[in-house]
Amino acid sequence: MYHVQNLVIIDDDPFFHFIIKKLMNRHTSSTTVTYSWDVMSVIDFLRNNYNDPLKLPDFIFVDLNMPVFSGWDFMKLYNDLHKIIYKTIKIYVVSSSIDPNNMRKALSYPFISNYIIKPISSEKIEEILTSL
């Protein structure tokens, strides 16, 4: 069993939220998982708490294709923000896109830990948790 303090999921698919919750419950204890459909609310939270490592997530899963603000928007905004944040946050792109250009572009951001193609498996969750 792994121990992760804070996980943020940014995805517009409630089924993905459900799957992650089930998978995380199998592998972690005492985890706070925050689910969001809104990129800007997460960015605002990070901006408001950049200097408080205890409030910041350990890692973030972000989907690429969402209405209003996409995962691409998140990465553009986070690109400047991550330089002032007092904690290293592991960020994973979790997308159904298998386009190699999307993978390359996402992984070109220095703060992106990995690109994961949906559906996410229990083994992949375990792999991520062992990298913490």
Q: Parse the chain into domains and list their residue ranges.
A: 2-130
- Burial, 123: exposed, middle or buried (Cβ in 10 Å; 0-12, 13-18, 19+)? exposed
Tell me the whole-structure pTM to 2 decimals.
0.90
For residue 26, the model assigns a pLDDT of 77
Those residues with Cβ within 8 angstroms of residue 35's Cβ, 6 or more apart along the chain or in another chain: 9, 11, 17, 21
- Alpha-carbon distance 6 to 59, whole Å? 7
CATH of segment(s) 2-130: 3.40.50.2300
Each residue's pLDDT, cut to its tens digit, for the chain (132 residues) gives: 455 578 899 999 999 988 888 887 776 766 678 899 999 999 999 999 999 998 999 989 999 999 889 999 999 999 999 999 989 999 999 999 999 999 999 999 999 999 999 998 888 887 877 766
